[in-house]
Amino acid sequence: MDLNIFEKIKILDSGMGQELIARGLVTRGTLWSATSLIDEKYNQLVIDTHLASINAGADVILTNTFTTRRVRMEENRVKDKFLFANKKACELAIKAKDLSKKNILIAGSLPAQNNTYEADKREDNVIEKDFFDQANIISPYIDFFYLDVLSSGREVKIALDVIKKLKKPVLVGLHIKKNNKLPSGETITDVVKKNINSSWLGVVAACVSLEIIESSSDEFKKLDLPFGFKANLWGVEEPLPVHRFNTPSDEKAKNPNIILGKREDISGEIFCEFSKKLINKGATIIGGCCETNISHIKEAAKLK
């Protein structure tokens, strides 16, 4: 693939998990979007959601593998479905691309391997095995990897070492807090400078509020890399430590917006205006994460 793809404006898809729930997915514990892979009756819903993003103008769709990480599968007592669910997510993304008959790209969502929005403090070899086992399943089906909401430079380095073995390009998604640093306390600049290599396609603020995206944009711009965002529309500016979603029996775990809320004030038009403002600052990678929907992508795609 063209390693300079993000030199020009490209649109990523909207958030998959919350969109599936909004479309009728009934989740099992904290499996969330992974439920739609394990329960065959929801497979078509995944295809339809991918297609909706493509038809709205997305140039890139992400595999539905954010909650198929090993830790989440083990928490929900379906670790035997790890291979099946990750492979199924890729097959459904390819099916959606084929049905669309459009020349879009498929990015392999490779998420933080423990709790989201928190630096992973486990041993390096444990983190590396989790990254490798998931990435190795996904790799044959995708055009590039997307490091999905990583919270420390250590995790970025480990994931990049894994991806290097698989010889794929990578778009790096960093989670940023209100202080414009990663949850680990590291700056965006330090993490990028310590880890950048020739496989990088760009870097984005991953699952971050509009306000944090804007306040960190000047630092992203100075990196001399294609940059942008996948914005969330949670009702709180910083998603954690409001609540830890690691107990499947917790009733609040069925849908994270029970705790985190949802911004109803950001229409597709407002999202488009925000995207335009960031494009004027140099951003070329525009997309949505949790609680964004197809209307946001459709409006943002007008900016291409």
Q: Which of 6, 2, 4, 5 is nearest to 284 (CA)?
A: 6
**pTM of the full structure:** 0.96
* Nearest-angstrom CA–CA distance, 289 and 232: 5
User: Maximum CA pair distance of the chain?
Assistant: 47
CA distances for 259 relative to 66, 122, 244, 267, angstroms: 19, 26, 10, 21
Strand partners, 36: none
Burial level of 193, CB count in 10 A (0-12/13-18/19+)? exposed
Per-residue pLDDT tens over the stretch 79-138: 999 999 999 999 999 999 999 999 999 999 999 999 999 999 999 999 999 999 999 999
CATH class assigned to 5-303: alpha beta
The per-residue pLDDT of the chain, averaged, comes to 95
- C-alpha distance across the termini of the chain, in Å: 20
Ranges of beta strands (E only) in the chain are: 10-11, 60-62, 105-111, 144-150, 170-174, 200-208, 227-231, 285-288
Rounded to an integer, the average pLDDT of 162-191 is 98
Residue 231 phi/psi, 5-degree rounding, is -85, 145
Q: Is the pLDDT of residue 1 over 60?
A: yes
% of the chain at pLDDT higher than 70: 96
Q: Which of 303, 279, 270, 276 is nearest to 293 (CA)?
A: 270
